[in-house]
Each structure stands twice: as structure tokens, then as C-alpha cells.
């Protein structure tokens, strides 16, 4: 049972009589075991990480010239995004992580995955076509959403990526993933696929709940972290973050995940405010949750905290939460993620099923209590 006031320490438990899902493991993976690690199973993040004493390939992204642009829609889309994709070399005390980033402002603000720059003491960025790196500063990170914001020093005139309208994304759409897979020499890797599903939710660890994810069969590998998933117009629809691999009791093929553009834009705004000294608190509803075990969708209310917004709204134990503000709740993790991403003062409409009837309850969130 998970608790929205203590969700960091209480991950939901899987029923013992159900087939086990692929296990979730740490996002960062060791570059030297990237190939072997794929057969172990789980969710594998796509940064290429190794010790600082190893020789990470230095990457030069040669820009595509007009005569080199292919005729396919994939080639044309990749050419549009190319100037806005960078490689990120993040150096920590005892580690080095190579990932990808997306330029979002002409003066050098870049989005990437939080795990790419985790523990960074020095961040070096190479622009498309450049031979020398530019130093960057970490402005803010949100590990719970796996998004980080960095900024190049003394840089102007860059090409910012264009973000797609989140409402334009549909299952079956053709997409392209771009990034520095496995930190190989040369420019970024380009792979294509489709949008396999929308609004996926993954609990990566006790602190990271990724919701509203785009699932894709476009190949995503170590080093792709922080890179764009784009549509055929070269517009960013998500940030590549993880891939699923099969385990001993399950199989997973061509299943990758990207943080959707709606989440990217929401979190990036918060990070920009945070970098300017504006802190944002998380919302609190005051419930504990359990997984629905009758084969249906939704999350089951296990407990309601006395005096909490949930109690004031009329939420009851054993209510089944079906949606929040129109967003379907597929399980307890998706509800936890929605509440966490809301702010104190936000009013949310909770659709619950109680005794076979649907009810709409309105709750006004408060600040999460200090632990």
C-alpha cells in the first residue's frame, strides 16, 4: 500500500498471485556492461556512465549539408532537429556520464534527464558540428520527474528546438529518436518507430514516479538519455528516458519511454522558476493507496487522513479512483504522480466508484507536510 504523504518510502506492492512485471532498476547504467545488461531485465535508463579514468569517446556531430539530406521523411525530420541536439559530458567525483540534451533557448538553456547530470561537478557540452566543448552550469533538477536544466556559459545565437502541440500526438504516429547512443564517435544516432502507447506511468525507484510517458518502439540506447523524440515535422514530442528489457518471467521487445512534451514544458517552467529562486511546493491530498486486484483499472483508497483535503472532499476508504481532472488513473502510481505534480491551492476533480456508482468529488490541495 502506498501513501501520498509518504510515497518516497512506501512503494506499492505487487500481489503475490499475479505474474511479476519487469523489475525497475537504477536509471544510470555502466557503459562497459550496456550490452550484457540488456539480458538481465528491467527498466534501463539511457545514460552512458563509466569511471572518470576511462576513455569516453569524444563526440563531434557533423552537421547535415543540403546535399546530404535524404529523401525520406525520417531523414528530413532528423535534419530539422539536428542543430538543437547536443552531447553532454557530465563529470562527477568518481564517475562520468555521457548523454544528450535539447536546446530550448537561443542563449543556451538546455534540457536533459536529471540522471545524466546527477552529481556533476563539471558539465561540458558540444554543439552540433563543433569540435570544442562549452562549459555549462546546472541551473536546477527535478529527480522525481527525471528532468534537468543546464545553461551554456557566454553563448548566444543557438537554434532552439520546436515543441509539438501535446494534443497532436496519437498512438500509431511515426516518430524518430535522436541521441548519442553508447557515446559512439560521430554525430547522433537516429532511429525510427511509432508511438506505441500514451499516458504510461512507471515507478523507477522510491523517489522517481514518471507519468504521462510516451511508449515507443523506436530504439533507445545508453547515451540517448535527454535526447528528443520527434514527430515527422522535426518537432519535439518527448525526452527519451528509459527502455524496458525482459526478465526471467517476462519478455520485453522494442519498448522505450519518453517524457511527454506536456510534462517537459510543465517541469521546465518550474525548473526555470527554481533557478531564479522561486520554490514550488508539492500538493498533498491525504490518502494511502492500494492496487485494484479485481482486474479493473484505478486505485483503491486504503486510508484517509483526518482533516486532510481528501476527507473534506468526501473521499472514503475503499473508493476506487478512476480519474483526476479527466486523466484516467491506471494504477496507484499514476495517482501518486498526479498529486505530487500538483501545487498547494490547486483544485482537483476526483472521479471515484463507490458501491457501483460514480461520484465526482472536488478537493483543494494543501502543502505537503514536512517530515
The CA–CA distances, whole Å, from 219 to 17, 101, 284, 303 equal 33, 17, 37, 41
Q: Which of 2, 225, 260, 288 is catalytic?
A: 225
Locate 131 and state its grid cell.
Answer: 569540435
* Under 8 Å between Cβ of 85 and 110: no
Neighbouring CB atoms inside 10 A of 157's CB total 7
DSSP 239-265: EEEEEEE-BTTB---SEEEEEEHHHHH
Q: Which of 5, 115, 189, 341 is catalytic?
A: 115
Q: How many CA atoms lie within 13 A of 348 on its CB side?
A: 29
The alpha carbon dihedral of 220, 28, 223, 229 has a sign of: positive
For 170, counting Cβ atoms within 10 Å of its Cβ (0-12 exposed, 13-18 middle, 19+ buried), the class is exposed
Rg (CA), the chain: 21
Q: Is 6 a catalytic site residue?
A: no
Helices then strands (H, E): number in the chain?
Answer: 5, 24
* Under 8 Å between Cβ of 157 and 134: no
Q: Which of 142, 146, 319, 341 is catalytic?
A: 146
Locate 333 and state its grid cell.
Answer: 502510481
Pick the closest to residue 189 from 52, 325, 87 (CA basis): 87
Distance from the Cα of residue 362 to its chain's centroid: 28
Identify the H or E element spanning 335.
Answer: helix 332-341
Q: Is 46 a catalytic site residue?
A: no
- The Cα–Cα gap between 147 and 86 comes to 16
- The Cα–Cα gap between 263 and 201 comes to 12
Q: Is 225 a catalytic site residue?
A: yes
* Measured torsion, CA atoms of residues 312, 330, 302, 343, in degrees rounded to the nearest 10: -40
Catalytic (active-site) positions: 115, 146, 225
Amino acid at each position: 500500500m502506498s501513501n501520498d504523504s509518504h510515497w518516497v518510502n512506501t512503494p506499492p506492492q505487487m500481489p503475490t498471485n499475479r505474474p511479476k512485471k519487469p523489475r525497475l532498476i537504477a536509471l544510470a547504467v555502466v557503459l562497459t556492461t550496456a550490452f550484457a545488461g540488456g539480458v538481465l531485465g528491467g527498466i534501463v535508463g539511457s545514460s552512458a556512465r563509466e569511471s572518470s579514468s576511462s576513455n569516453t569517446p569524444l563526440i563531434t556531430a557533423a552537421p547535415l549539408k543540403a546535399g546530404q539530406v535524404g529523401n525520406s521523411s525520417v531523414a528530413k525530420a532528423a535534419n530539422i532537429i539536428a542543430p538543437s541536439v547536443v552531447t553532454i559530458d557530465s563529470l562527477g567525483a568518481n564517475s562520468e556520464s555521457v548523454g544528450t540534451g535539447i536546446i530550448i533557448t537561443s542563449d543556451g538553456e538546455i534540457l536533459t534527464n536529471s540522471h545524466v547530470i546527477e552529481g556533476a561537478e563539471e558539465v561540458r557540452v558540444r554543439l552540433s558540428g563543433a569540435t570544442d566543448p562549452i562549459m555549462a552550469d546546472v541551473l536546477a533538477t527535478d529527480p522525481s520527474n527525471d528532468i534537468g536544466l543546464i545553461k551554456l556559459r557566454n553563448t548566444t545565437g543557438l537554434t532552439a528546438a520546436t515543441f509539438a502541440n501535446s494534443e497532436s500526438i496519437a498512438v500509431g504516429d511515426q516518430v524518430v529518436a535522436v541521441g548519442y547512443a553508447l557515446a559512439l564517435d560521430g554525430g547522433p544516432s537516429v532511429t525510427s518507430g511509432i508511438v506505441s502507447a500514451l499516458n504510461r506511468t512507471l515507478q523507477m525507484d522510491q523517489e522517481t514516479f514518471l507519468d504521462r510517458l510516451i511508449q515507443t518502439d523506436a530504439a533507445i540506447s545508453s547515451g540517448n538519455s535527454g535526447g528528443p523524440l520527434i514527430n515527422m515535422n522535426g518537432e519535439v514530442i518527448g525526452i527519451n528516458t528509459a527502455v524496458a528489457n525482459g526478465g526471467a518471467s517476462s519478455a520485453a521487445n522494442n519498448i522505450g519511454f519518453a517524457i511527454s512534451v506536456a510534462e517537459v514544458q510543465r517541469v521546465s517552467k518550474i525548473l526555470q522558476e527554481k533557478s531564479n529562486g522561486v520554490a514550488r511546493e508539492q500538493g498533498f491530498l491525504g490518502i494511502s493507496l492500494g492496487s485494484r486486484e479485481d482486474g479493473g483499472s484505478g486505485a483503491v483508497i486504503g486510508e484517509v487522513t483526518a482533516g486532510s483535503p481528501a476527507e473534506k472532499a468526501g473521499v472514503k476508504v475503499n473508493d476506487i479512483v478512476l480519474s483526476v481532472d479527466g486523466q484516467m488513473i491506471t494504477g496507484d502510481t499514476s495517482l501518486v504522480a498526479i498529486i505530487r505534480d500538483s501545487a498547494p491551492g490547486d483544485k482537483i476533480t476526483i472521479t471515484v466508484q463507490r458501491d457501483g456508482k460514480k461520484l465526482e468529488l472536488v478537493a483543494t490541495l494543501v502543502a505537503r507536510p514536512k517530515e
